[in-house]
Amino acid sequence: MFKKIYKAIKKYDTIVIARHVGVDPDAMASQLSLKESILLTFPKKRVLAVGNGGAKFSYLGSLDKLEDVDFSNSLLIVLDTPDKRRVDSPEIDQFSYKIKVDHHPFVESFCDIELINDEKSSACQLILELLYKTKLKRNKSIIEKLYIGLISDTNRFLFNTDSELFTLVSKIVKEYQLDLPELYQKLYMRPLHEVKLQGYIEQNMKITDHGVGYVILSSDILNKFSADAGSAGNMVNNFNYIDEILVWLMISEDRKNEIIKINIRSRGPVINTVAEKYHGGGHKFASGARVTTFEEAELLVHDLDRVCASYIQKREGDEEK
């Protein structure tokens, strides 16, 4: 499969690299590092990394505008996105050939080549493997971006991390003499107002009977802390180890786009099946959803509470055996 992807990359002079809406560091780092590697290997090709919202991860680089592209003669590579509706590039059907590289559970097939492995930690891990298994070239800047994507999606090697990933990481850290504190700083530095918003979340989190922790962040609250729905959502990863909570979510209003964005995490109950009911999806223990009213968000919380109740009941049953 890696070789087939390399052959397609070699064949096309114009290549567009897209990823999911609601950009995150794994999606953007995989895009920009693949672009850099293709250009290093084939300097005459035109390669565009596209999508919205990249400014908040500008330490990774900048994105391109999708302009003057003859779609009928171009290759599209979609990274980190299991379904067509979430691809941040509306022209997707116009491309002559399409490749998908993804680590989410399978949702639908929409590309000519699909490299999907939901046991991998991140899209960046799959791109790293692509670079090591084909003639695509690497340099320190490419590997640094991929490392940032890896630490972001694994939450510093906490989730979806196995010995295979540690072996790969050990190899790149040694080969490229990565300055780890510098890379972590790029990803985790944040302004004081975000820390204050985190304090607000801690003070105002409600907990349901069966351990669903949630906080509603209206546009007014977010404005008060000079934050947006995206930065609030990123904080969902900071609430992993709270005794009373099994599943937790940030419910953030994005008034400009008239949606309510929901980020969900779990320490046991499977949540992506519930997220799918609310225009969402994702991984078993890390999902997202989008609703239009706070009432709908409360229904989602209620459904998650029921999932937690069955999880607790099963766990207690197993303990008694």
The residues that touch ligand AMP, with contacts defined as CB under 6 A, are: 20, 22, 24, 86, 104, 233, 236, 263, 279-283, 286-290
CA angle 111, 20, 301 (to 5 degrees): 120
CB of 248 vs ligand AMP, minimal distance in Å: 11
Other beta carbons less than 10 A from residue 163's beta carbon: 7
Query: Using CA atoms, how far apart are residues 48 and 66, in angstroms rounded to an integer?
Result: 7
Smallest separation (angstroms) from ligand AMP to the CB of 21: 8
Say which amino acid occupies 202.
Answer: E
- DSSP E strand boundaries for 143-275: 206-207, 212-217, 247-254, 259-266
Q: Which is nearer to ligand AMP, 138 or 290 (CB)?
A: 290
CB of 158 to ligand AMP, least distance (A): 14
Name the minimum Å distance from CB 48 to ligand AMP: 22
Do the beta carbons of residue 176 and residue 57 sit within 8 Å?
no
Q: Among residues 257, 272, 260, which one has the least CA distance to residue 304?
A: 272
Task: For residue 194, give every residue at least 6 positions away whose Cβ sits within 8 Å of its Cβ, in sequence order, or none.
Answer: 225, 227, 231, 235
| CB-nearer residue toward ligand AMP: 2 or 285 | 285
CA–CA dist 128, 155 (Å, integer):
18
Minimal distance, residue 104 CB to ligand AMP, in Å: 6
CB of 27 or CB of 47, closer to ligand AMP: 27
Cα of 161 vs its chain's centroid, Å: 16
Between 41 and 237, name the residue whose CB sits nearer to ligand AMP.
237
**Closer CB to ligand AMP, 98 or 283, in the complex:** 283
Q: CA 280, CA 261: separation in Å to the nearest integer?
A: 10
Q: What angle do CA 226, 231, 237 make, to 5 degrees?
A: 135
Give least dist CB 23 to ligand AMP, A.
9
Which residues lie closer than 8 Å to 170 by C-beta, 6 or more apart?
none
As measured in angstroms, the least distance from the Cβ of 82 to ligand AMP is 8
Q: Given the complex with ligand AMP, which of 136 and 246 has the nearer CB atom?
A: 246
CB nearer ligand AMP, residue 22 or residue 149? 22
* Closest-approach residue to ligand AMP (CB): 288
